[in-house]
């Protein structure tokens, strides 16, 4: 094997699903496998066919899927004590899975041999040898995962190395050194791998967990020491604190270390894959993930923004486009004039640095943030703020008044909410009412009902998220409240914000901004076509 060649082994579909709150259906696993294949993953561990019907079904269905790059891998354990490999149902399930690559894990820590398996050390060596030798007569490639290897080596280095020698003598194709408990530090990983390489000649792999926040670093340093198979999961999903995060490892190998483990075009898809997997896992995509997180190339401080407008390299370690991500500038009370100019350019607003409106917008922004507004998650509201300051904002309707009633008639019955609203559009007045699931929902329904006859495009708008934050708990029920709304129309999403001591008023502000933003974008679209 080329000394600069590194193979990527994904275990999201097996080890990743052992993470808390993660559960993939068979359909999910098929979709994820296709995405992993698209970005050039070499091995995809599909699951443990001997452990549950879902994994068995996955291996049956994946056989009809044509993959371009990846080998599907079945995972299982060495045969059980007291059984020959050919008598073990788990070993048989691995062969019956239909894959030509099997990963077999076995004990390499003497503590686990004597305490967990309750057998002697020699018996364990024979189990490893016999299991691998038997599988090699049925499949073309066997990977041996030396479970708890680093802990075992620190406790009894001679015996841990004996388990690797047993795997090597049985003709395993790879030996993977596992930090199963995730407690080994980087310098220990390096020194132990050096020792292993003196005794073992077949290619080595690395599998580490993140219990000391070292999984990515340990994987990278293992590669530096000559390891050529890196196991991990998308977004670092996995048991306890997770596994090594392939979304960090892959760009680091390729961009920082010059190892062409995948192509440039495949690397550009890694952010998309990261977010796709988190969506199927039904988990929020962490903004702070390196390389692929929404905040990975986000800039907030005015000094930073001023610098990146001149040279992005000043505060960005790579070009975000290389990993399919993008540069973002945030708006807050930490902003400077550069933030305003950057956002103006992003919004297509013609604004020069010497324009006095820049200072005016900045002062208004800082005052509003002082009052409790937050524009990081409400860029729709901020774009409207800028256009109002520049007198480029059209007033689509005028509120003449609204009333919200919450009535509870009986102790055990739910409250009844109704909103009545009066608006003027041009020279027409619309007066209507609507009920809803609570006062805010009733108000939302009423304003839509009043305006949709004038602006039918509002029927496309859906409220996607509604967040309420109490800004000062010392004021109790009279505290100022911030409402953040995320809206979408199937083509794009936008955030808006409102702040008031009255939650209905705060919600109204955010709802009106959401409607204004949609109508503004529709008008811009019409003007660009004409």
| pLDDT band at 358; cut points 50, 70, 90 | confident
CA distances from 524 to 107, 295, 361, 461, 518 (A): 65, 28, 22, 17, 10
Residues 236-248 pLDDT 10s: 999 999 999 999 9
What does DSSP say about strands 141-147 and 174-179: parallel, antiparallel, or unpaired?
parallel
- For residue 3, pLDDT over 70 is answered with no
Question: Where in the chain do CATH 3.20.20.70 domains reside?
Answer: 7-280
What pLDDT was estimated at residue 302? 84
Distance CA 207, CA 11 (A): 10
Write down the architecture of domain 7-280 according to CATH: Alpha-Beta Barrel (3.20)
Residues 257-281 pLDDT 10s: 999 999 999 999 999 999 999 999 9
Residues 399-409 pLDDT 10s: 999 999 999 88
Which residues are CB-neighbours of 356 under 8 A, at least 6 positions away?
A: none
Residues 470-504 pLDDT 10s: 887 777 777 889 999 999 999 999 999 999 999 99
Residues 196-237 pLDDT 10s: 999 999 999 999 999 999 999 999 999 999 999 999 999 999
Phi, psi (deg, nearest 5) at residue 453: -70, -25
| pLDDT band at 394; cut points 50, 70, 90 | confident
Show the tokens assigned to 501.
Answer: 């001591």
What pLDDT was estimated at residue 4? 62
| pLDDT band at 1; cut points 50, 70, 90 | very low
What pLDDT was estimated at residue 359? 82
Instruction: List the end-to-end C-alpha distance of the chain, in Å, as a whole number.
Output: 61
Name the residue among 146, 154, 292 with its Cα closest to residue 216: 292
Which residues are CB-neighbours of 460 under 8 A, at least 6 positions away?
A: 489, 490, 518
404 forms bridges with which residues in the sheet? 419
Name the residue among 151, 229, 162, 163 with its Cα closest to residue 192: 151
| pLDDT band at 41; cut points 50, 70, 90 | very high
- For residue 2, pLDDT over 60 is answered with no
Share of the chain above pLDDT 70, in %: 98
Mean predicted lDDT score pLDDT of the chain:
92
CA distances from 190 to 176, 219, 232 (A): 14, 10, 18
- For residue 327, pLDDT over 70 is answered with yes
> Cα 55 to the chain's mean position, in Å?
23
Higher-pLDDT residue of 119 and 4 is 119
On the 0-12 / 13-18 / 19+ scale of CB atoms within 10 A, 394 is exposed
DSSP 453-467: TT-GGGGG-EEEEEE
| pLDDT band at 443; cut points 50, 70, 90 | very high
Chain length of the chain:
530
On the 0-12 / 13-18 / 19+ scale of CB atoms within 10 A, 310 is exposed
Whether CATH 3.30.160 fits 397-454 = yes
Name the residue among 15, 11, 10 with its Cα closest to residue 241: 15
Phi, psi (deg, nearest 5) at residue 69: -125, -35
What value does the mean pLDDT take over residues 74-102? 96
3-state secondary structure 359-421: HHHHHHHHHHHHHCCCCCCCHHHHHHHHHHHCCCCCCCCEEEEEEEEEECCCCCCCCEEEEEE
Instruction: Tell me the three state secondary structure of residue 82.
Output: coil
Show the tokens assigned to 527.
Answer: 């003007």
> Cα 393 to the chain's mean position, in Å?
36
Distance CA 374, CA 360 (A): 18
What value does the mean pLDDT take over residues 415-420? 94
CB 25 within 8 A of CB 57: no
| Four-residue CA torsion sign, 314, 316, 6, 66 | negative
Question: Where in the chain do CATH 3.30.160.340 domains reside?
Answer: 372-384+459-530
Tally the C-alpha atoms within 13 A of residue 154's C-alpha that lie toward its C-beta.
14
Which residues are CB-neighbours of 266 under 8 A, at least 6 positions away?
A: 38, 39, 40
Share of the chain above pLDDT 90, in %: 76
Name the residue among 371, 385, 522 with its Cα closest to residue 459: 522
Tally the C-alpha atoms within 13 A of residue 30's C-alpha that lie toward its C-beta.
15
In the chain, how long is the greatest CA-to-CA distance? 92
- Highest-confidence segment of 42-56, 218-232, 378-392, 491-505: 218-232
Which residues are CB-neighbours of 285 under 8 A, at least 6 positions away?
A: 235, 274, 275, 278, 279, 293, 294
Angle at 463 between CA 381 and CA 346, to 5 degrees: 35
Which residues are CB-neighbours of 24 under 8 A, at least 6 positions away?
A: 13, 17, 32, 280, 281
Distance CA 332, CA 232 (A): 37
What number of other Cβ atoms are within 10 A of residue 107's Cβ?
Answer: 26
Fold of the CATH domain 372-384+459-530: Double Stranded RNA Binding Domain (3.30.160)
What pLDDT was estimated at residue 528? 65
Which residues are CB-neighbours of 296 under 8 A, at least 6 positions away?
A: 288, 289, 290, 320, 325
- For residue 337, pLDDT over 90 is answered with no
Show the tokens assigned to 90.
Answer: 């788990």
Residues 97-123 pLDDT 10s: 999 999 999 999 999 999 999 999 999
Weakest mean pLDDT among 23-37, 179-193, 459-473: 459-473
């Amino acid at each position: 094997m080329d000394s600069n060649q590194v193979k990527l082994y994904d275990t999201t579909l097996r080890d990743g699903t052992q993470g808390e709150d993660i559960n993939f259906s068979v359909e999910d696993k098929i979709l994820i496998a296709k995405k992993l294949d698209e970005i050039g993953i070499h091995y995809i561990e599909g699951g443990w066919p001997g452990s549950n019907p879902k994994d068995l079904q996955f291996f049956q269905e994946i056989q009809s899927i044509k993959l371009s790059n990846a080998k599907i891998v079945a995972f299982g354990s060495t045969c059980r004590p007291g059984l020959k490999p050919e008598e073990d149902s788990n070993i048989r399930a691995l062969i019956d899975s239909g894959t030509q690559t099997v990963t077999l894990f076995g004990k390499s820590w003497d503590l686990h041999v004597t305490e967990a398996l309750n057998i002697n050390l020699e018996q364990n060596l024979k189990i490893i040898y016999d299991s691998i030798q038997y599988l090699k007569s049925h499949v073309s490639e066997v990977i041996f995962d030396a479970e708890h290897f680093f802990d075992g080596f620190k406790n009894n280095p001679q015996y841990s190395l004996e388990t690797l020698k047993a795997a090597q003598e049985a003709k395993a194709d790879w030996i993977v050194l596992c930090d199963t408990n995730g407690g080994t530090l980087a310098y220990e990983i390096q020194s132990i791998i050096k020792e292993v390489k003196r005794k073992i000649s077949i290619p080595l792999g690395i599998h580490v967990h993140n219990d000391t926040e070292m999984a990515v670093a340990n994987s990278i340093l293992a590669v530096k020491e000559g390891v050529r198979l890196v196991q991990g999961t998308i977004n670092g999903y996995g048991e306890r604190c997770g596994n090594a995060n392939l979304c960090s490892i892959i760009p680091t190998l390729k961009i920082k270390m010059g190892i062409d483990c995948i192509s440039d075009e495949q690397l550009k898809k890694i952010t998309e894959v990261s977010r796709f997997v988190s969506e199927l896992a039904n988990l929020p995509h962490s903004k702070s993930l390196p390389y692929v997180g929404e905040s990975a190339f986000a800039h907030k401080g005015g000094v930073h923004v001023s610098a990146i407008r001149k040279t992005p390299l000043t505060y960005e370690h790579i070009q975000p486009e290389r990993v399919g991500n993008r540069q973002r500038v945030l708006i807050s009370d930490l902003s400077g004039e550069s933030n305003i100019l950057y956002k103006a350019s992003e919004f297509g607003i013609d604004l020069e640095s010497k324009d006095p409106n820049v200072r005016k917008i900045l002062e208004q922004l800082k005052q509003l943030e002082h009052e409790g507004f937050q524009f990081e998650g409400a860029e729709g509201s901020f774009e409207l703020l800028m256009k109002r300051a520049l007198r480029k904002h059209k007033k689509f309707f005028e509120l003449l008044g609204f009333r919200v009633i919450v009535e509870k008639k009986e102790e055990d019955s739910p409250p009844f909410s109704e909103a009545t609203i009066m608006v003027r559009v041009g020279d027409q007045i619309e007066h209507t009412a609507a009920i809803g699931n609570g006062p805010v929902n009733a108000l939302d329904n009423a304003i839509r009902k009043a305006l949709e006859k004038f602006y039918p495009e509002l029927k496309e708008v859906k409220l996607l998220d509604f967040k309420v934050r109490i800004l000062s708990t010392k004021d109790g029920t009279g505290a100022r409240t911030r409402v953040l709304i995320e809206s979408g129309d199937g083509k794009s999403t936008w955030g808006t914000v409102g702040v008031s001591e009255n939650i209905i008023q705060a919600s109204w502000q955010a709802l009106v901004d959401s409607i204004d933003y949609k109508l503004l974008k529709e008008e811009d679209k019409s003007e660009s076509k004409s």
